Amino acid sequence: MRFRNRLALPLLLTAAIGGLVAPPAQAHPARDVEVTAPSLYPEGVAWDPTRQSYLVGSVRFGTVAIVQRDKTVRTLVSDPAMVSIFGISVDAARGRLLVTYADLGLGERSGPATVNRQSGLGIFDLRTGQRISLVDLAGGAGEHAANDVAVDARGNAYVTDTVGDALLRVDPRGRITARVTHPDFAAPGFGVNGIVWHPDGFVLTVVYSTGRVFKVDMDSGRVDEVKLDQPLLGGDGLVLRRDGSLVSVTNSLGAAGVNGVRVLTSGDHWRTARQSPVTPWTGGAPTTAAAGPFGTAVLTGHLEALTTGDTSARTFTLRRF
């Protein structure tokens, strides 16, 4: 998400979300899990199959933490170069953790030199949390803020720049190999937000402030709008499930959306899509979701409080959807 007068507002929200602690082998995870993590304010989440746990990123501290079985967190990544962590993706095949980092004015290390200027992809060793590389995605002049990230089977990363209105592709060696822009990515508030890689060779992304969904070929740069019966206003995190359906998390953090979750399906290769009725979300604004072995987990990190300067939250919530 983004506000056009973003430098005047100690900003904001985006999206990306997370989930539940993995239970013992045959147990069924609780529908609601409250995780103790004082002032963490997570926005992004991913399932880590190597640990059988979820990982969450911190908007306030710029760290990545492991959600442990006792419903607490343990820091995995702490790199002072990153102000806030937003999107998270696990590349287990290559032993990598990929995160997007930026400064929307909400982090402890936020400052005039980095607000809406810092924008990058952090690549870390999944086991140790040690830095492999930081890829600068700011692209020179203008405002930028990397938001969400998805990874394909070859290890290419796809990143949304919600302030710079662009999609970028980064290869496994850390090189930017594609950058796609389009007039319809621009919005009065935050732009392109959640993103998923589709195994048929394209990405799907949603524009937060307008609720429009796009199918993008990163090789050719072709951008096609997915026709919906109604826009996904406040569209934040996206999750592509194994059955081909798309889970969409929406919120009212910076747009006239509803705090809720819905499922999109398409029978024509995402030229059009049908939406299920929205499932309302209580207890705060959800930001994103992650698919794990027990279903889809939706994260509520209480970012609505952080945007007002309230740093007193001691927990965040993970709920099965």
Cα dihedral sign for 239, 68, 59, 40?
positive
pLDDT at 298 over 60: yes
Distance CA 209, CA 194 (A): 12
pLDDT at 147 over 50: yes
In a 3-state reduction of DSSP, which class is residue 216?
A: strand
- Confidence at residue 31, expressed as pLDDT on a 0 to 100 scale: 65
Residue 241 DSSP label:
-
Instruction: Record the pTM.
Output: 0.91
The residue count for the chain: 321
- Confidence at residue 174, expressed as pLDDT on a 0 to 100 scale: 96
293 pLDDT band, cuts 50/70/90, is confident
Please give the mean pLDDT across all residues of the chain.
Answer: 90
pLDDT at 162 over 80: yes
Distance CA 193, CA 202 (A): 16
Distance CA 80, CA 196 (A): 28
pLDDT at 8 over 70: no
Distance CA 147, CA 102 (A): 7
Residues ≥6 apart with Cβ < 8 Å to 267: none
Residue that the structure tokens 């908007």 belong to: 59
List, in sequence order, the alpha helices (H) in the chain. Answer: 303-306
Residue that the structure tokens 């089977």 belong to: 153
Decide which of 96 and 30 is more confident.
Answer: 96
